[in-house]
């Protein structure tokens, strides 16, 4: 009867486990498909932007003029002052006009001085030999015509196009030349700032083309800004136009105090001193001048890995750390910066070594940050803890996206004990003469009940179906816990609530870590590392609650087993309490982080942590910044104690059981 019940239980368990394995395979396949879709979607914007730029025929106008295109235009023999009479004295730009739309700089009457017949034709309902369209605004000529590149009819008849490469079309109108003819002196004066020698008839939509050389000749007229050649081994670049306003000696059109000043000589020794201003400030030479977007450093650079900056800092802008003369500020859950008054030193980006530069935000008061309140953003002002915490170490990989480092003392002690004890156990284990000896015994009532073959706490050998691949069996036994399921589905369910959250978090963190190290320019690793990314925040809270539920159910199950039988198996309550402590302090830390950073966007998906944050928010950011570091170290000490205790506890089966099964599989006895 006993044998019949056992066979029946195994017969019922096998289909159920087979179904579970099939369901798991489908879930893994669905996750892989979803990952491919996410990665493809992440790559689409870059391609879409590239296609849009290539399809751009007439990009937004800049303050630069392509000299080749202007030379081929219908207005090449005209003086700049013929159209720009108000700029003839070179006392420009006027600061009050730079921040207005480009349309305000156009005067229709200027065009009609030479093109008076256009107005007559419009009165007759014709323009350019075609009937006028009701939807077209014929009062704004530059909507369709760029006066610097518009071609004469005879040039068009020869095949020239304003968007073409004029440097490759010299032979169309005349014998090919190696250089452009010298313009008239008054035109040369304007081109000394506005000239752009790229050989392209139209400027790219994103700004100045790569490799563009801006004229560095000294401007004529009233401008006193001297050209600056930045030559750190690269081609000389001179931001003459920019320094005419932002330089220490600007012209009369820009009153003192109207805009920040930059030392031209000082720029040469700064981080990007050999680069043209428009390499980073792509829209600086456009109207309106004050509507530029913040420079995106990630266009050229990649993010730092967490081992170097101790955290992903996903919601912190590069400038908040790297720029001098700024003060970090917290806005909508993200850390940005504002420029301090006084000399403009933002281009000096050299950071102090070690963690000295971190005290700008991670300190309790200005004294710790050097004594100056200028630029200080600590004591919780930007959602940063007062303590400079070490990066998450290898011990944290079971739950977090961590780093391959061991920098804090609790982790060093805990990992040291773990390695030493397991090394001794390994020597003892592999020295045992009876390890793996003998063949698996035939499964009978007596053999099964006695669990014959167990040694050193390892699982008893089990004969799988002859048709089953032994490596597939190993994966099922290790990752799906099949042996435990066969013994007791209830215990398997409780164990699964503990095991699978750890496995999920470990795989997630390992993918984020390796992706950030091997493919830092991609977006997907940083999404995995972003604590406020909606999908990650939700799944991590869900897995954390599953882990907490599993631990509580394990405690209930142990209590029930102890009360039901006098000879109940011995359970490791200390290990359970340590895991509960780690889980609970982890949730509290998450709530503190969300409250400290001002409930950033996406944090609401971390439903458990967000609920705790609502309860912790009344403490205030200053208080949270002061106690967060203590909470972090409590969590770290509990983790280190757990890791150090593993070799002495029943938790060691996490390592010994898979290793034993692996050895048995290699020997063909699994």
Tokens 């008061």 found at: 365
pLDDT tens, 308-345?
A: 888 888 889 888 888 888 889 988 878 998 888 776 77
- The predicted structure's pLDDT at residue 149: 85
Encoded tokens for 217: 């000749």
Q: Under a CB-based contact definition with an 8 Å cutoff, are residues 530 and 558 in contact?
A: no
259 falls in which pLDDT band (50, 70, 90)? Answer: low
Q: Tell me what the mean pLDDT of segment 485-491 comes to.
A: 89
Q: 335 by DSSP, 3-state: which?
A: strand
- The predicted structure's pLDDT at residue 223: 33
Encoded tokens for 85: 């009479």
Rounded to whole angstroms, how far apart are CA atoms 668 and 670?
A: 6
Tokens 């996206």 found at: 401
Task: Evaluate if residue 646 carries a pLDDT over 90.
Answer: yes
- The predicted structure's pLDDT at residue 629: 93
Residue 121, preceding peptide bond in cis (omega within 30° of 0): no
Q: Tell me what the mean pLDDT of segment 207-222 comes to.
A: 36
- The predicted structure's pLDDT at residue 292: 83
Rounded to whole angstroms, how far apart are CA atoms 538 and 508?
A: 13
pLDDT tens, 1-38?
A: 333 333 344 444 455 455 545 545 555 455 555 555 44
User: What b/e sequence results for 281-293 when a residue is b if at least 16 CB atoms lie within 10 Å of its CB, and e otherwise?
Assistant: bbbbbbbebeeee
Rounded to whole angstroms, how far apart are CA atoms 487 and 343?
A: 74
CB-based contacts of 605, cutoff 8 Å, min separation 6: 534, 535, 537, 538, 541
Compute CA distances 181 → 68, 77, 585, whole Å.
10, 12, 75
Tokens 């059981």 found at: 657
Dihedral sign (CA 13, 19, 25, 31): negative
Encoded tokens for 67: 């000299």
- 167-171, 335-339, 545-549: least confident range: 167-171
pLDDT-above-70 percentage for the chain: 73
Encoded tokens for 434: 């009876």
Q: Which residues pair with 339 in a beta bridge?
A: 326
Spell out where 96-188 has E strands: 126-127, 130-131
- The predicted structure's pLDDT at residue 632: 95
Between 340 and 447, the more confident residue is 340
Segment of 11-20, 260-269, 440-449, 622-631 carrying the highest mean pLDDT: 622-631
Q: Under a CB-based contact definition with an 8 Å cutoff, are residues 230 and 268 in contact?
A: yes
Q: 336 by DSSP, 3-state: which?
A: strand
φ, ψ of residue 175 to 5 degrees: the values are -65, 135
Helix or strand run (H / E) with residue 418: helix 409-431
Task: Evaluate if residue 217 carries a pLDDT over 60.
Answer: no
Q: Tell me what the mean pLDDT of segment 180-203 comes to.
A: 71
Q: Under a CB-based contact definition with an 8 Å cutoff, are residues 388 and 359 in contact?
A: yes
- The predicted structure's pLDDT at residue 112: 87
CA atoms within 13 A on the CB side of 547: 26
- 261-265, 392-396, 633-637: least confident range: 261-265
First to last CA, the chain: 29
- The predicted structure's pLDDT at residue 456: 42
User: What b/e sequence results for 60-69 when a residue is b if at least 16 CB atoms lie within 10 Å of its CB, and e otherwise?
Assistant: ebbbbbbbbb
Packing angle between helix 534-564 and helix 573-596, nearest 10 degrees?
Answer: 150
Instruction: Give ∠ CA 303-307-308 in degrees, rounded to 5.
Output: 60
- The predicted structure's pLDDT at residue 275: 77
CB-based contacts of 300, cutoff 8 Å, min separation 6: none
- The predicted structure's pLDDT at residue 590: 96
Rounded to whole angstroms, how far apart are CA atoms 475 and 463?
A: 15
Rounded to whole angstroms, how far apart are CA atoms 128 and 156?
A: 14
Rounded to whole angstroms, how far apart are CA atoms 267 and 276?
A: 11
- The predicted structure's pLDDT at residue 72: 84
- The predicted structure's pLDDT at residue 233: 38
- The predicted structure's pLDDT at residue 29: 52
628 falls in which pLDDT band (50, 70, 90)? Answer: very high
Alpha helical stretches, state H, 432-488 = 445-450, 470-479, 482-487
- Average predicted confidence (pLDDT) for the chain: 76
Q: Under a CB-based contact definition with an 8 Å cutoff, are residues 89 and 222 in contact?
A: yes
- From the list 189, 219, 214, the residue with the least C-alpha distance to 81 is 189
Rounded to whole angstroms, how far apart are CA atoms 387 and 410?
A: 16
Task: Evaluate if residue 226 carries a pLDDT over 50.
Answer: no
CB-based contacts of 331, cutoff 8 Å, min separation 6: none
Packing angle between helix 573-596 and helix 621-645, nearest 10 degrees?
Answer: 160
Encoded tokens for 493: 């369910």
- The predicted structure's pLDDT at residue 546: 95
- The predicted structure's pLDDT at residue 42: 45
Q: Under a CB-based contact definition with an 8 Å cutoff, are residues 287 and 303 in contact?
A: no
- The predicted structure's pLDDT at residue 258: 56
Q: Under a CB-based contact definition with an 8 Å cutoff, are residues 73 and 150 in contact?
A: yes
Rounded to whole angstroms, how far apart are CA atoms 342 and 563?
A: 75
Task: Evaluate if residue 265 carries a pLDDT over 60.
Answer: yes
- The predicted structure's pLDDT at residue 509: 93
pLDDT tens, 61-70?
A: 678 888 888 8
Instruction: Give ∠ CA 298-301-303 in degrees, rounded to 5.
Output: 75
Q: Under a CB-based contact definition with an 8 Å cutoff, are residues 587 and 609 in contact?
A: yes
Between 444 and 561, the more confident residue is 561
Rounded to whole angstroms, how far apart are CA atoms 523 and 422?
A: 39
CA 371 to chain centre: 32
Encoded tokens for 348: 């000096």
Rounded to whole angstroms, how far apart are CA atoms 214 and 80?
A: 19
pLDDT-above-90 percentage for the chain: 23
pLDDT tens, 122-147?
A: 888 898 888 988 888 888 888 888 88
pLDDT tens, 277-291?
A: 877 888 888 888 888
- The predicted structure's pLDDT at residue 500: 94
């Amino acid at each position: 009867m006993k044998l019949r019940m056992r066979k029946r239980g195994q017969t019922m368990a096998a289909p159920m486990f087979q179904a579970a394995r099939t369901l798991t395979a489908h879930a893994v396949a669905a996750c892989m498909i979803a990952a491919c879709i996410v990665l493809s979607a992440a790559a689409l914007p870059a391609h879409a932007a590239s296609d849009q730029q290539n399809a751009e025929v007439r990009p937004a106008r800049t303050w630069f003029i392509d000299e080749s295109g202007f030379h081929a235009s219908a207005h090449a023999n005209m003086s700049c002052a013929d159209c720009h009479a108000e700029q003839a004295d070179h006392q420009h730009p006027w600061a009050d006009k730079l921040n207005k739309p480009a349309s305000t700089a156009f005067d229709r009457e200027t065009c009609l001085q030479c093109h008076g017949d256009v107005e007559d034709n419009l009165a007759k309902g014709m323009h350019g030999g075609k009937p006028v369209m009701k939807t077209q605004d014929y009062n704004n000529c530059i909507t369709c015509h760029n006066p610097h590149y518009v071609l004469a009819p005879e040039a068009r008849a020869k095949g020239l196009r304003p968007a073409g490469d004029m440097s490759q079309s010299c032979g169309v109108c005349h014998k090919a030349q190696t250089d452009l003819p010298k313009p008239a002196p008054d035109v040369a004066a304007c081109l000394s700032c506005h000239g752009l020698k790229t050989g392209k008839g139209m400027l790219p939509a994103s700004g100045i083309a790569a490799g563009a050389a801006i004229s560095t000749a000294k401007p004529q007229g009233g401008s006193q800004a001297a050209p600056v050649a930045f030559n750190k081994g690269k081609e000389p670049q001179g931001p003459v136009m920019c320094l005419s306003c932002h330089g220490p000696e600007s012209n009369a059109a820009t009153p003192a105090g109207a805009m920040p000043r930059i030392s031209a000589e000082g720029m040469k020794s700064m981080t990007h001193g050999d680069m043209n201003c428009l390499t980073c400030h792509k829209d600086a030479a456009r109207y309106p001048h004050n509507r530029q977007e913040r420079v995106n450093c990630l266009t050229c650079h990649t993010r730092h890995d967490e081992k170097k900056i101790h955290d992903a800092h996903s919601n912190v802008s590069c400038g908040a750390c790297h720029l001098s003369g700024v003060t970090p500020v917290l806005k909508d859950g993200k850390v940005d910066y504002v420029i301090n008054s006084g000399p403009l030193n933002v281009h000096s980006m050299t950071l102090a070594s070690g963690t000295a530069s971190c005290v700008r935000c991670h300190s309790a008061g200005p004294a710790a940050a050097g004594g100056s309140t200028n630029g200080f953003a600590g004591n919780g002002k930007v959602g940063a803890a007062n303590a400079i915490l070490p990066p998450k170490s290898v011990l944290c990989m079971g739950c977090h996206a961590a780093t391959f480092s061991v920098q804090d003392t609790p982790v060093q002690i805990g990992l040291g004990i773990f390695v030493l004890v397991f090394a001794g156990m390994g020597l003892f284990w592999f020295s045992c003469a009876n390890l793996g000896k003998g063949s698996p015994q035939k499964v009978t009532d007596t053999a099964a009940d006695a669990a014959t073959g167990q040694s050193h706490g390892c699982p008893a050998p089990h004969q799988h179906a002859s048709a089953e691949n032994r490596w597939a069996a190993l994966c099922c036994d290790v990752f799906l816990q099949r042996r435990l399921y066969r013994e007791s589905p209830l215990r398997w369910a409780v164990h699964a609530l503990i095991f699978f959250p750890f496995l999920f978090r470990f795989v997630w963190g390992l993918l984020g870590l390796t992706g950030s190290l091997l493919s830092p320019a991609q977006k997907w690793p940083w999404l995995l590392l972003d604590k406020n990314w909606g999908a990650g925040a939700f799944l991590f809270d869900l897995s954390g609650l599953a882990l907490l539920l599993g631990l509580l159910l394990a405690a209930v199950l142990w209590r029930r087993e102890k009360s039901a039988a006098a000879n109940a198996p011995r359970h490791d309550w200390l290990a359970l309490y340590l895991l509960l402590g780690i889980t609970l302090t982890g949730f509290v830390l998450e709530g503190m982080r969300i409250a400290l950073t001002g409930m950033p966007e996406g944090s609401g998906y971390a439903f458990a942590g967000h609920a705790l944050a609502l309860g912790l928010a009344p403490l205030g950011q200053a208080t949270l910044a002061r106690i967060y570091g203590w909470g972090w170290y409590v969590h770290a000490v509990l983790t280190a104690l757990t890791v150090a205790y593993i070799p002495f506890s029943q938790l060691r089966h996490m390592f010994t059981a898979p290793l034993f099964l692996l050895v048995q599989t290699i020997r063909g006895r699994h």
